[in-house]
Amino acid sequence: MKKDRNYPKPVLTPGEVARRSGVAVSALHFYESKGLIFSTRNSGNQRRYSRDVLRRVAIIKIAQRIGIPLASVSDSLENMPADKRMSAQEWGNLTQHWRDELDKRIETLTRLRNDLDGCIGCGCLSMRDCPLRNPGDLLGQQGSGAVLLDPEQDGSLHKTR
């Protein structure tokens, strides 16, 4: 007997995807609202996911574990196939960008850690000289008096007095 290759792909309920992937159903709904995963609806208007969503959820979990923001995950997954397994080449392309982000973050954190070691040694935490508390003496360049960063404006420093 010939196998019919035109049969519909098996679908999973949100509960099944949650059990198999280890994420909450609410997380699946959130991922879907952000365009990270996709579902269809059955005649009762209930969500149904293809089995391929398990791989996408695994990718999302890996990215979250290494600290990649969901916005970056979304950008990376945008051009990846949603309904089939990724090739090794596609996976390599996806992860190269993340590797670059991680390398930059590691470099920044290493520099901060090393600066912190210096602060522990000197103990000054000087507003004028400390590279961690006041990098580049940005506050001093604004003159005397209280100065703070106003992120609601243009992100520049503003005098508060």
Question: Where along the chain do its domains lie?
Answer: 8-86
pLDDT interval class at 131 (50, 70, 90)? low
pLDDT digits (tens, 9 = 90+) for 107-118: 988 988 877 766
Task: State residue 149 phi and psi, 5-degree precision.
Answer: -85, 125
φ, ψ (nearest 5 deg) of residue 48: -140, 135
**23-51: per-residue pLDDT in tens?**
999 999 999 999 999 999 988 999 999 98
> Looking at residue 161, what is its pLDDT?
44
Closest C-alpha to 128, from 137, 116, 138:
137
Which residue has 């996806």 as its token pair?
94
**For residues 99 and 76, is the Cβ–Cβ distance under 8 A?**
no
Span 58-117, pLDDT tens digits: 999 999 999 999 998 998 888 777 767 778 888 888 888 889 889 999 998 898 887 776
In CATH, the number for domain 8-86 is 1.10.1660.10
Would you state the pLDDT for residue 87?
Answer: 82
Extract the runs of DSSP E, i.e. beta strands, from 42-116: 47-50
Say if residue 148's pLDDT is above 60.
no
What is the reported pLDDT for 149? 47
What does the buried/exposed string (b/e) look like for 68-107 if buried means 16 or more CB atoms within 10 Å of the residue's CB?
beeeebeebbeebeeeeebeeeeeeebbeebeeeeeeeee
pLDDT of residue 103: 94
Residue 142 CA, chain-centre distance (Å), reads: 35
Confidence of residue 10 (pLDDT cuts 50, 70, 90): confident
Q: What is the pTM of this model?
A: 0.65
pLDDT at 144: 60
State whether residue 103 is helix, strand or coil.
Answer: helix
DSSP lists the bridge partners of residue 141 as: none
- Residue 139 in this model has a pLDDT that exceeds 90: no
Query: What is the predicted pLDDT for the residue at 63?
Result: 93
* CA–CA separation, 87 and 106 (whole Å): 28
Model pLDDT, residue 76: 85
CA distance 92 to 76: 11
Strand order in the sheet with 11-12: 11-12, 47-50, 40-41
